[in-house]
Structure 1
Amino acid sequence: MANYYPELFTPTYIGKVKIKNKLSMAPMGPVGYADANGALNQRIQDYYVERAKGGIGLIITGICNVDMETEKMAKAGLPSPTQTPLAFIHSAYQMNERIHAYGTKVFIQLTGGLGRSALPGFVSKYIAPSENENRFDPNILHREMTKEEIQTLIQKFVTAAVISKKSGFDGVEIHAVHEGYLLDQFAISFFNKRTDEYGGSLENRLRIATDIVKGIKKACGTDFPVSLRYSLKSCMKGLRQGGLPGEEYEEVGRDIDEGIEAAKILVDAGYDALNVDAGTYDSWYWNHPPMYFEEGTYREFGKILKENVNVPIILAGRMENPEMAVESLNNSCDIIGLGRQLLTDPDYPKKVRAGKLDEIRPCLGCHEGCLGRISNAPVSCAVNPACGREKIYGLTPALNKKHFLIIGGGIAGMEASRVLATRGHKVTLCERTNNLGGNLIPGGVPDFKRYDRALVKWYEKQLELLNITVKMNCHVKLSDIDTYNPDEIIVATGSTPIIPKFDGAKNIVSANDILVGKADAGKEVVIIGGGLVGCETGLWLAGKGSNVTVVEMANDILGGPHGLPHMNHYMLEDLLDYNNVNIQTNTMVVSANNSSVTVKNAEGTHNISADTIISAIGYKENNSLYEELLEKDIPVYNIGDSQKVHNIMYAIWNSYELAKEL
């Protein structure tokens, strides 16, 4: 078998545990994947085994709670080794047997809880190192933990590690000085105001983390490796305020100098590896980088730690480009961590080793499937609907092979084509224009939407590999249907931007036309609509030198706090502010002409200069062909934006659901 990137596929070690390559699955929380006993349910077992099958060298599970009583977390929330130890051992041992069959090692990540970072309602016992406001709701106060509670928590970590070793795990990772979770709050003086042995000096603030590793080594043996999830820098300007990459600000959390000192203390205490990132819940986009980050987010932090400690450094931060990964192994880390990329494509390691980079399904950085729905459903992936339900939601061959006519080559049409062809159906895909991708073509124009462009390229490659008949510049009308002789028809004709009309204004264009270059934006730009399209278009134009004002009728942009996953929402808001995009909420456009827009809000009516007025108020379904096709005696389905205007995730998920059952 070819090995295109041998540096990534040579063995390495954590402690005395040999790992077959230098690729690791980064820990991602298995919320909703526990059974009533706190054991790993079958879905999460299959999920991890699928990644082992794909060739990853080391799996680090998402957080498993060492004590469900610490914060009174819902029993079905996270797996917990200590809740019902025998049940946990039975589930984990059989999972680890399967993982080991592929030569993959597996560490369990153990967490002590959320502290002030708990989503309201996720816990019923609000605790913290000192009294602190809740990250999301300042009306919720977290009380200071007692010393007895702290001692119990430390012992629970040790007990959980012992149970994990019996369960066949090759090591444990402590979810401690990381992301502003409970134990990181102890480590950061901004949150820890205690005056006892768990507060004050850096050594005291790290005491829980150092006592945990010492206790585990004593109970499990010095050869049982213990990794530490570690954020070198907090990237905080203040409470609920993150600092953007490249922005100058005063760090109020853990700065790099203290981060280096803390790392030395933690390694001296016995940690065998550091799994490195940056950020806290107050700067959440650092821990979960949206598409607005550049690749290799944490490389500077890994390099700093490699120069200061002598244990392996595991580093994630969007290094799925194998050339960047190889370069990073030389100076920033010892093991490459892969998170969301393994959700989108479990076979990433195999494909990299074989040089099939154009067959790797890309992560969009959207967080919609993995974290955006975490309060309502377990972790999955926007572009891979089978993620987290591999055995129960995978594709099966069609028993009755048919010919499907797919009308529309956007994301929904391409996904339906891919799934149907994978199952053995014959597919003809007709696209009206000379490009596949639909609204992802304009949406993918800004540099920060490069992953959207990569997704279109991936679909094009899949259609080629599956030998799907693709007809471009093909405008299908009702009278044309019989010439294709289809057994069934799927309409995926997308949507069209809505453009308001104002007397005297001829300079109103859609965001789509601006993005694809059909219209030029002037110096003074007013965007009507503060949703994702309007805000991203505004950010892009501001970067190109325009003075941009976004006008939004609602009291918040981006659909409010729950309109987007939090990390994407926070970062886009901060980027708009940093790039001087003027946001006017609770504001209505009442009239416009070729040089200005008149708006009305609580302060009255005023004019805004506008060389160009851009409409980003939404899209309208193109469903007329579907309505016409209902008259024919052929089964017809409507998917994607032509059924209901939605986001990329639901275009893919709904198409997958339909096509896997036909």
Structure 2
Amino acid sequence: MNKYKKLFEPVKIGKCEIKNRFALAPMGPLGLADSEGGFNQRGIDYYTERAKGGTGLIITGVTFVDNEVEEHGMPNCPCPTHNPVQFVRTAREMTERIHAYNAKVFLQMSGGFGRVTIPTNLGEFPPVAPSPIQHRWLDKTCREITIDEIKSIVKKFGDGAYTAKRAGFDGVQIHAVHEGYLIDQFAISLFNHRTDEYGGSLENRLRFAREIVEEIKNRCGEDFPVALRYSPKSFIKDLRDGALPGEEFVEKGRDLEEGIEAAKLLVSYGYDSLDTDVGSYDSWWWSHPPMYQEKGLYRPYAKLMKDTVDVTIICAGRMDDPDMALEAIENGTCDMISLGRPLLADPDYVNKLRSNNSKSIRPCISCQEGCMGRIQHYSMLNCAVNPQACKEKDNALLPILKKKKVLIIGGGVAGCEAARVLALRGHEPVVYEKSDRLGGNLIPGGAPEFKEDDIALANWYAHILEQLNVEVNLNSEVTKEQILNSAADSIIIATGSTPKVFSLGDDNKVFTAADVLAGKKDCGNTTVIIGGGLVGCETALDLAKKGKKVIIVEALNKILALNGPLCSANSEMLERLIPYNGIEVRTNSKVKSYKDGILEVETENRIDKIQCDSVILSVGYKEEDSLYKELEFEVPEIHLLGDARKVANIMYAIWDAYEVANHI
């Protein structure tokens, strides 16, 4: 018997019945639109694949209804009002394919970004807002939007929803009285200083949101569902300054008292569902939670909404643990579980859970390198651990002409991904790993409690390769001669990287971060970490949480200056967690020597002496490509992958391995 059966009971949003309790959370559909604001083939395939994977409700990423008040630089995202004929033509194909899998689909529609428009998406267009307030990212003051412009946007919501209904969408979701987007900026007094009918009282500040749902219901009928993305709490300490979990602060955004009152009003206006989260662009790590946030962090706020209003409550936010999801449905925390990044990582999540195959679900690692980071910097949505996400047809597995035996030297993430892809295509991969387990740098990297999903990814690869009957040889270091005598058709060298080290004098107490994280070395009670990059900061955070006194010494003028996380939610939260956890940081500083428990550190005009039990080196990694160089001119078909080719991150190790293994 499947213990998760309750997650597969139907649920309604308004009068729309959904076959199970799972929704695809809306994520920015960058790269999924055509030049006329319709869905391109990538978008159609991407959403259809999640429906095929068993998800009951597909909620698209944001689409803009307005391109005049706030120009978005078409074709940035789909837009139902730009060219309605093209939108219906492309979206209808998508909704028909989604419906074939007995799934429902809602179009998420936005009133605009206002002061939080990401600069790469803004172009040269001036940002707007309810009032002349500071932009989130740029040192600019936003232009105050006029009443005529508000009325224009409201009408376009009606136009867009009507077009969506024609295109076969089962409902719409409004984006949003959440995260500090334009409609939310109207709702929050910190941003809304207006004295007209759209400012002042809570009812006035919610007037924009009210007029939107009334317009849609008027145009599409009372039975056409209108959901709302909603944040009952903002976690704003000040402009561009968010609160950390557990931190005491005065809420300057929407507090829970107003969040409860606003929810009651919004439901009374006609919204059929609240898709609940918390946070804002000023506290982005709440809205887009990195691995440093606990799993299921929105559950208390979803429960509060469930106890406050009588509509369908959807809860997202690192809800990928099926036991947690089941408990949330059983105890009345929410009515639906919304999965965003987990469905990027594995579109078949829901079907795997339904068929008692949860061990095969590829885990999301909350790195945000492939999703939010790439949206923020490159205007495209992808996934670090799933190279096929948003590229379903372009990165489809290729048929093979002739079965090949492929030796893979190295069982880190690149070697494992290559073996997986080769086996799925019908080749015969053979993996040799010199350590006693698969995973490579995932193992020390995943040692901190907040990096548990790195270990889950290593375990997933081990499980999948076993399922695919891939020969894996552990504790096996391979020589050039063995490879040349193997009669293999192709060779992949994925021997990874090694930590950079240097002598400080008393090296008996100088360790690498990898050895400390893996528990091979005891750093004592007081330690200094040399290097304030991602590994150094995460090591410091892990040790501080274990009660150690930690100092970071960084040669540059700030931590995370090199190789920091791509997504601001990850980098900004980690940067704030360092001082919050009592970790001292010394920048523009270089270590000189370590002797008799004293570390000498040179700053601009002096030398400091720091007493410590150990020194931890976290100054980067160097490629381990010596075996490749030995074989480079001896083997006709040879590939160098992962950190052995170029030290990077998990995403590029997986992506490069997929690309190469799919073309052997």
Q: Give the shorter-chain TM-score range.
A: over 0.9
**Deviations along 1:475-503, whole A, 9 cap, x unmatched?**
10112114422111000001110112123
* Structural mapping, 1:240-319, within 5 Å: 240-319=240-319
Q: Distance in 2 between matches of 1:273 and 1:512?
A: 46
* Structural mapping, 1:55-70, within 5 Å: 55-70=54-69
- Per the alignment, residue 337 of structure 2 pairs with 336
2:121 alignment partner, SS class: coil
Q: Distance in 1 between matches of 2:563 and 2:653?
A: 23
2:309 alignment partner, SS class: coil
Q: Distance in 1 between matches of 2:120 and 2:348?
A: 36
Q: Residue type of the partner of 2:458?
A: V
Gap regions ≥5 residues in structure 1: none
- Per the alignment, residue 365 of structure 1 pairs with 366
**Deviations along 1:567-608, whole A, 9 cap, x unmatched?**
001111121121011112222223332412222234532122
- Per the alignment, residue 646 of structure 2 pairs with 644
How far 1:3 moved relative to its partner? 4.1
Answer whether contact 1:4 1:352 (CA < 8 A) is retained: no
The aligned length equals 660
Q: Distance in 2 between matches of 1:594 and 1:253?
A: 51
Confirm or deny that 1:410 pairs with 2:389. Answer: no
How far 1:222 moved relative to its partner? 0.3
- Per the alignment, residue 100 of structure 2 pairs with 101
Answer whether contact 1:33 1:76 (CA < 8 A) is retained: no
How far 1:121 moved relative to its partner? 4.4
Q: Given the alignment, which residue of 491, 500, 515 partners 2:502?
A: 500
**Deviations along 1:137-192, whole A, 9 cap, x unmatched?**
2x221111111111111111111111111111000100020111111111111111
2:582 alignment partner, SS class: coil
- Per the alignment, residue 527 of structure 2 pairs with 525
**Deviations along 1:99-144, whole A, 9 cap, x unmatched?**
000000000000011111112242212111111111112x221111
Mean Cα displacement is larger for which, 310-319 or 360-369?
310-319
**Deviations along 1:482-538, whole A, 9 cap, x unmatched?**
442211100000111011212345321100111112210122211011111000000
Q: Distance in 2 between matches of 1:46 and 1:216?
A: 28
Q: Distance in 2 between matches of 1:538 and 1:136?
A: 28
Q: Distance in 2 between matches of 1:318 and 1:121?
A: 27
- Per the alignment, residue 130 of structure 2 pairs with 129
Q: Residue type of the partner of 1:224?
A: F
- Per the alignment, residue 398 of structure 1 pairs with 400
Gap regions ≥5 residues in structure 2: none
- Per the alignment, residue 348 of structure 1 pairs with 349
Confirm or deny that 1:189 pairs with 2:202. Answer: no
Q: Distance in 1 between matches of 2:21 and 2:506?
A: 63
Q: Distance in 1 between matches of 2:639 and 2:315?
A: 45
C-alpha RMSD over aligned residues: 1.3
How far 1:285 moved relative to its partner? 0.7
Q: Distance in 1 between matches of 2:156 and 2:496?
A: 53
Q: Residue type of the partner of 2:143?
A: R
Q: Distance in 2 between matches of 1:503 and 1:291?
A: 36
Q: Distance in 1 between matches of 2:506 and 2:538?
A: 27
Q: Distance in 1 between matches of 2:393 and 2:418?
A: 20
Confirm or deny that 1:236 pairs with 2:246. Answer: no
TM-score (norm 2): 0.98
**Deviations along 1:49-106, whole A, 9 cap, x unmatched?**
0000000100111100001222211112111000111000101011100100000000
How far 1:554 moved relative to its partner? 1.5
Summarize the Cα distance change of 1:237–1:298 in structure 2 as closer, same or farther, 3 Å threshold. Answer: same
Summarize the Cα distance change of 1:192–1:401 in structure 2 as closer, same or farther, 3 Å threshold. Answer: same
Summarize the Cα distance change of 1:296–1:121 in structure 2 as closer, same or farther, 3 Å threshold. Answer: closer
Q: Distance in 2 between matches of 1:192 and 1:596?
A: 55
Q: Distance in 1 between matches of 2:48 and 2:626?
A: 45
Q: Residue type of the partner of 1:575?
A: L
1:580 alignment partner, SS class: coil
Q: Distance in 1 between matches of 2:222 and 2:77?
A: 28
Answer whether contact 1:554 1:585 (CA < 8 A) is retained: yes
Confirm or deny that 1:112 pairs with 2:111. Answer: yes
- Per the alignment, residue 544 of structure 2 pairs with 542
2:82 alignment partner, SS class: coil
Q: Distance in 1 between matches of 2:562 and 2:63?
A: 31
- Per the alignment, residue 172 of structure 1 pairs with 172
Q: Residue type of the partner of 2:278?
A: A
Answer whether contact 1:594 1:611 (CA < 8 A) is retained: no
Q: Residue type of the partner of 1:622?
A: E
- Per the alignment, residue 221 of structure 1 pairs with 221
Mean Cα displacement is larger for which, 550-559 or 297-306?
550-559
Q: Residue type of the partner of 2:452?
A: R
Confirm or deny that 1:385 pairs with 2:382. Answer: no
Answer whether contact 2:173 2:228 (CA < 8 A) is retained: yes
Q: Residue type of the partner of 2:130?
A: P
In percent, how many aligned pairs have the same letter?
52
How far 1:397 moved relative to its partner? 2.3
How far 1:563 moved relative to its partner? 4.6
1:68 alignment partner, SS class: coil
How far 1:5 moved relative to its partner? 1.2
Q: Distance in 1 between matches of 2:309 and 2:596?
A: 62
- Per the alignment, residue 573 of structure 1 pairs with 575
Q: Distance in 2 between matches of 1:634 and 1:434?
A: 30
- Per the alignment, residue 54 of structure 1 pairs with 53
Answer whether contact 1:70 1:125 (CA < 8 A) is retained: no
1:282 alignment partner, SS class: coil
Q: Distance in 2 between matches of 1:495 and 1:217?
A: 58
- Per the alignment, residue 467 of structure 1 pairs with 469
**Deviations along 1:340-372, whole A, 9 cap, x unmatched?**
000000000001111111100000000000111
How far 1:246 moved relative to its partner? 1.8
TM-score (norm 1): 0.98
Q: Residue type of the partner of 1:178?
A: H
Mean Cα displacement is larger for which, 116-125 or 252-261?
116-125
Q: Distance in 2 between matches of 1:219 and 1:633?
A: 67
Q: Residue type of the partner of 2:513?
A: A
Q: Residue type of the partner of 1:424?
A: G
Summarize the Cα distance change of 1:562–1:158 in structure 2 as closer, same or farther, 3 Å threshold. Answer: farther
Confirm or deny that 1:73 pairs with 2:72. Answer: yes
Q: Residue type of the partner of 2:172?
A: V
Q: Residue type of the partner of 2:625?
A: N
1:71 alignment partner, SS class: coil
**Deviations along 1:225-282, whole A, 9 cap, x unmatched?**
1000001100111111221222221111101110000000000000000000000000
Answer whether contact 1:525 1:549 (CA < 8 A) is retained: yes
How far 1:658 moved relative to its partner? 0.4
Q: Distance in 1 between matches of 2:178 and 2:361?
A: 30
Summarize the Cα distance change of 1:473–1:154 in structure 2 as closer, same or farther, 3 Å threshold. Answer: same
* Structural mapping, 1:385-464, within 5 Å: 385-464=387-466
Answer whether contact 1:260 1:305 (CA < 8 A) is retained: yes
Answer whether contact 1:597 1:608 (CA < 8 A) is retained: yes
Q: Residue type of the partner of 2:19?
A: K
Answer whether contact 2:369 2:565 (CA < 8 A) is retained: no
- Per the alignment, residue 29 of structure 2 pairs with 30
Q: Residue type of the partner of 2:275?
A: N
Q: Distance in 2 between matches of 1:260 and 1:427?
A: 57
- Per the alignment, residue 153 of structure 2 pairs with 153
Q: Distance in 1 between matches of 2:623 and 2:222?
A: 62
Mean Cα displacement is larger for which, 639-648 or 603-612?
603-612
- Per the alignment, residue 83 of structure 2 pairs with 84
2:378 alignment partner, SS class: coil
**Deviations along 1:323-347, whole A, 9 cap, x unmatched?**
2111101321011111100000000
